[in-house]
Amino acid sequence: MTSKSSKNGTTKKSYLQGIQGMNQEMLENELGNLYELQRIDTLIDEIRTLRGELPLEVQELEESVAGLKSRMEKQVEEVQNLEKLITEKKNTAKDAQALIKKYESQQSKVRNNREYDSLGKEIDFQKLEIQLSDKRIKEYKTSITAKEELMKQSEAMLKEKNKELKEKKDELDQIVSETEKEEKALIKKSEDARNQIDPTLLAAYMRIRPNFKNGLAVVTVERESCNGCFVKIPPQRQSDITSHKKLVVCEHCGRILVDKGLIDEKKKAPTSKVLERMS
Task: List C-alpha distances in Å: 114 to 52, 119, 120, 169, 264.
Answer: 86, 9, 10, 80, 115
Q: Which residues contact 221 (CB under 8 A, 6 or more apart)?
A: 227, 233, 238, 241, 257, 258, 259, 260
Q: Any idea what DSSP says for residue 232?
A: B
Q: What is the number of structural domains in the chain?
A: 1
**Under 8 Å between Cβ of 99 and 126:** yes
Q: What's the CATH code of the domain at 60?
A: 1.10.287.1490
Closest of 214, 248, 208, 189 to residue 37, by C-alpha:
189
Quickly list DSSP for 193-216. Answer: HHTTS-HHHHHHHHHHGGGSTT--
Which residues are 75's β-sheet partners? none
SS3 178: helix
Per-residue confidence in pLDDT tens, the chain, 279 aa: 344 444 444 444 444 555 665 677 888 888 989 999 999 999 999 888 877 788 888 999 999 999 999 999 999 999 999 999 999 999 999 999 999 999 999 988 888 899 899 999 999 999 999 999 999 999 999 999 999 999 999 999 999 999 999 999 998 888 888 788 888 999 999 999 999 999 999 999 999 999 999 999 999 998 889 999 999 999 999 888 888 878 899 999 999 999 887 775 435 555 655 555 544
Question: Containing domain of residue 250, as a range?
Answer: 4-278
Whole-structure pTM over 0.75, yes or no? no
